[in-house]
A and B are shown apart, each in its own frame.
Chain A
């Protein structure tokens, strides 16, 4: 690990965890669901060293994966040096059905979690696996326990008995580590950089970036936008960068006019050249350690002013801080990069943050030219997008993901 954490010893950690897994399993079989991210892959590698053929690795295709992801992950992990045997379990329809019409972030996450464990449980029973190995890390259980958001892989910490409910006992080898420590373990284990340095992809996948109700065309727009954002930001996007899709619908909120005035005064731009909207969708945030399922405001300044002022990133950063401080309901501020067709049903938000451990995050000052290019390509390839925004909000008061 880097000079910053001289105390964390990856080699001692690996040795003790392999011993512990082997001891707990004895001659029993175990199952693990792999996403191809660094957490689950690191856990699978540890468990494979401890259990060998007694470990069953599956990849659950939830339908909320990025384009081509299941195949890509399988190919990558089956390769040496990992050589993990992986089975893909298709469950797209099940997940779509379970989430249904719900537009509420927590309901969606809970439906996802339930379907995820049911699917796992069925496979485990069929294959006679009495243990589940899981890549839960510290922020997962901290956020779930603290009521900030339901992570898909947290059960026992909140009092759900997995043995009774799903028939397996859970082993969580890396539950006390943070992301940067997991990466150190992955590196030590010889896991490819492609995985060890891969940006995290949330358990529920694109579900938490498809804000509000799930619709097939909305999800398709998200998948396309995700591909575009990842292409442009691979080298300039901080530790995590992605796209989220929102409904274009706005609310006639009583605070709108006051907000518009605040923005115009702060940016010193005439009121008629400033537009503030409150979106109908809500997003998850955290204010003073309390979950805040708050309002999203979008700020636009006229095209002419955008050209005159250029990318006011520092000014906008402070504006964001002022707006979320003075308006208790607001947890997210989006800034318009480019407009598409007015009648289009969706908006896309681009988000890029830098973080060490995903507990706090700051936004990245992506150059305006790159944001412009991203927005242009999204609008071209997704004609049902009305606005492309850049998310100005750090964590706190927002969380990294939208839901």
Chain B
């Protein structure tokens, strides 16, 4: 990347949102735009090549109605799964994408014993980069029937709730994050902080020229 391009990416990063067909995907675009990034929805079929063409410097994958352990759902999400494995830029996976991220890295997703709808309390286990400024706990909004039942070994758990063990996780080696609740909705009290943190990670990553 040339110096000028790198500067642009740091100042106004392009962070597209994969539309996994959940209700809140468009709210992620709104949130990122309000925080000064450029963003738009891209379809499930988007490839790394296409993302590079629009000059992306980070990616968010939203929630959706799928169950990742069901055959048809998995087929629908197969391209996204490949994308999650291939990507080398900062990545934030929300809800169903968080569950897919776990599966893609050798973890496991199953039906939740106690599904969560509406308000939950998230307990922060590690205030790493993505959850900086959110601990020790905050109120969030969730809507999920499934959950990550076994986390991939290459990931670290960073938050939980009373009924869900993995509310958030991060890769041990790369800027890749999974979040089960919905930081993009208004009722999640620290949602804006989380996206701001993510954009900072994106900015740093672009500045380092990766």
A289→B143 contact, CB < 8 A: yes
Q: Are A286 and B23 in contact (CB under 8 A)?
A: yes
Task: Answer yes or no: A119 CB below 8 A from chain B CBs.
Answer: no
Q: Which residues of A contact B36 (CB under 8 A)?
A: 7
Inter-chain contact A321/B23, CB cutoff 8 Å: no
Verify B33–A7 contact, CB threshold 8 A.
yes
In the complex, the answer to whether A360 meets B185 with C-beta atoms within 8 Å is yes
Q: How far is the CA of A230 from the CA of B186 in the complex (A)?
A: 25
Contact present for A5 and B34 (CB under 8 Å): yes
Name which of A93-101, A140-148, A250-258, A340-348 contacts chain B: A140-148
Q: Taking the complex as formed, is A91 at the interface, i.e. its CB lies under 8 A from any CB of chain B? A: no
Q: Which residues of B contact A395 (CB under 8 A)?
A: 118
Question: Known contacts being A290-B145, A359-B185, A360-B187, is A325 close to B116, with CB within 8 Å?
Answer: yes
Number of chain B residues close to chain A: CB under 8 A:
32
- Quick check: which of B24-32, B51-59, B84-92, B101-109 contacts chain A, the rest being far away? B24-32
A residues near B135, Cβ cutoff 8 Å: none
- A368 an interface residue at 8 Å Cβ cutoff? no
Cα–Cα, bound, A317→B64 (Å):
26
Enumerate chain B residues within 8 angstroms of A138, measured Cβ to Cβ.
26
Chain A residues within 8 Å of B95, by CB: 289
| B23 interface neighbour in A142, A317, A362, Cβ under 8 Å | A142
B5 within 8 A of A: no
Interface centre among B95, B96, B119 (most CB of A within 10 A): B119
A356→B33 contact, CB < 8 A: no
- 8 Å CB contact of B34 from A7, A143, A355: A7
Count of A interface residues, CB-CB < 8 Å? 36
**CB of A145, distance to nearest CB on chain B (Å):** 8
Instruction: Decide: A290 and B65 in contact? CB cutoff 8 A.
Output: yes
Q: Does A103 have its Cβ within 8 Å of any Cβ on chain B?
A: no
Contact with A along B1-38 (1 / 0, CB 8 A): 00000000000000000000111101100100111100
Please tell me if the beta carbons of B119 and A325 are within 8 angstroms of each other in the complex. no
Shortest CB-to-CB span from A326 to chain B, Å, is 7
**Cα–Cα, bound, A24→B141 (Å):** 41
Instruction: Among B63, B118, B163, B186, point to the contact of A356 (Cβ < 8 A).
Output: B186
Q: A286-B143, A288-B143 are in contact. Are A359 and B117 (CB under 8 A)?
A: no
What does the 1/0 interface line of A1-25 toward B look like (CB < 8 Å)?
A: 0001111100000000000000000
The reply to whether B27 and A357 form a contact with Cβ atoms under 8 Å apart is yes
A288 adjacent to B65 (CB under 8 Å): yes
Instruction: Give the residue name and chain of the B residue nearest to A395 (CB).
Output: B118
CB distance from A399 to the nearest CB of B (A): 10
Q: Is B136 an interface residue (CB 8 A)?
A: no
Q: Is the CB of B34 within 8 A of A396?
A: no
The answer on a CB contact under 8 Å between A359 and B27 is yes
Task: Give the complex CA separation of A325 and B114 in angstroms.
Answer: 6
State whether A142 touches B26 (Cβ < 8 A): yes
Are A289 and B119 closer than 8 Å at their CB atoms?
A: no
In the bound complex, residues from chain B placing their C-beta under 8 Å from that of A5 are 34
Distance between Cα atoms of A142 and B182 in the complex (Å): 16
Separation of A142 and B118 alpha carbons in the complex (Å)? 19
A355 to chain B: which residues have CB within 8 Å? 186
Report the minimum CB–CB distance from A136 to chain B (whole Å): 13
* In the bound complex, CA of A393 to CA of B34 (Å): 30
Contact flags A117-154 to B (C-beta < 8 A → 1, else 0): 00000000000000000000010001101111000000
Interface presence of B43 (CB below 8 A)? no
Once A146-B65, A362-B187 are accepted as A-B contacts, the answer to whether A288 and B146 lie under 8 Å apart by CB is yes
Inter-chain contacts of B114 with A (CB < 8 A): 325-326
**B89 CB, nearest partner CB in chain A, Å:** 23
A218 at the interface (CB under 8 A from B): no
**What would 8 A/B residue contacts be, using CB atoms closer than 8 Å?**
A142-B23, A142-B26, A287-B117, A317-B119, A321-B119, A355-B186, A357-B186, A396-B118
Chain A residues packing against B (C-beta within 8 Å): 4-8, 138, 142-143, 145-148, 178, 286-290, 317, 321, 324-326, 328, 355-357, 359-362, 393-397
Q: With contacts A289-B96, A321-B118 known, what are 10 further pairs, Cβ within 8 A?
A: A143-B23, A287-B115, A288-B145, A290-B65, A321-B119, A357-B186, A359-B186, A360-B186, A394-B118, A396-B143
